[in-house]
Amino acid sequence: MIKYYCSEQNRITEIESPGEDCWISLVNPTEAEVAAMVNQYGIDADAMRSALDTDERSRIETDENYTMVLVNIPNIETHNDKELYDTIPLSIFVVKKAVITVSLEKTPILEAFANGTVRDFNPAMRSRFVLQILYRTSSLFLQYLRSIDRQSEIVENKLHKSTQNRELIELLKLEKSLVYFTTALRSNEVVLEKLFKNDNIKKYQEDEELLEDVIVENKQAIEMANIYSGILSGMMDAFASVISNNLNVVMKVLAIITAVLSVPTMIFSAYGMNVAAKGMPFAESPYGFLIIVLIAVVCSLIVALIFAKTKMFK
């Protein structure tokens, strides 16, 4: 899918064909759309397809016709009604008369620009547009990191009484997402350092403060990802022991119940043997059965009290 945007009277509007100082947005483009951009702007075909590879690394490429800035942005996938966090590449091509973005999926980063919710956005100011994309990328990383932290707290509360591995698997998925985020943020940081050393991108003096904000946001996201990753790693080790301990407690309670019930079992086994009634206590009494049951119950209660006194039930 391909869309064209331009700024008219300080408002972003969608247009039908590319014009001067426009923004061209490609989301999961077809081969025909890629070929059109390649022919019109002289962009290398492999470079245009780079954002369609989910394993592509962040980098900057320069050519006489364009400058490509490729970064990894956060993404949410839904699987079995569960939100899974991942990263996907986003390519930004700065050409003479336009800015072209290529992504594999729709992202809230670019949708905010298309909806006109980003202040001071003008596709004609190409370097500022690139920085605004990078700034919103870092902000979205921070937003998703806070969401991961909230989800880990929910799973943590479940783990206190859990004897299953389901919660640990959820933590493992969150930790996996943090690894993706940390890797993407670090590679994006390298891109930031190289971005404004590139002479092919026109620079504005007002962009210096925005660049500082982008770097600060990105570093903050890296620190948060590292902190949350360390917390999750330690939490998984701790709660693996908690689950094992909870299972041991359950097994201990079952063993105690078995020991308490074994007392009447032994008594009933002795009286159930095929032996002569002579010599068996209470064999001649009409209340013999009830007496034996009462004795078995009393013996079980005594054993249970002994276990309770020694705090075996705790």
The amino acid occupying position 32 is: A
CATH value of 2-245 in 3.10.450.50, 3.30.460.20, 3.50.50.60, 3.10.20.600: 3.30.460.20
Residue 52 has what pLDDT?
A: 87
Return the SS3 of 238.
helix
Residue 40 near residue 93 (C-beta atoms within 8 A): no
Give the pTM.
Answer: 0.73
Longest dimension (CA), the chain: 114
The amino acid occupying position 258 is: T
Architecture of the domain delimited by 255-309: Up-down Bundle (1.20)
Residue 129 has what pLDDT?
A: 85
Residue 263 has what pLDDT?
A: 81
Query: Going residue by residue through the chain (314 aa), what tens digit of pLDDT does each one get?
Result: 888 888 877 788 888 887 788 888 889 888 888 888 888 888 888 888 888 888 888 888 888 888 888 999 988 887 666 778 888 999 998 888 888 899 888 888 888 888 878 877 888 788 888 888 888 898 898 999 898 888 888 877 776 666 566 777 777 888 888 888 888 888 888 888 777 666 655 556 667 777 778 888 888 888 888 888 888 877 777 776 776 777 777 787 788 788 888 888 887 777 776 666 666 777 677 777 787 788 888 888 888 887 777 766 55
Residue 63 has what pLDDT?
A: 83
User: What is the Cα–Cα distance from 240 to 274, expressed in whole angstroms?
Assistant: 52
Domain boundaries, the chain: 2-245, 255-309
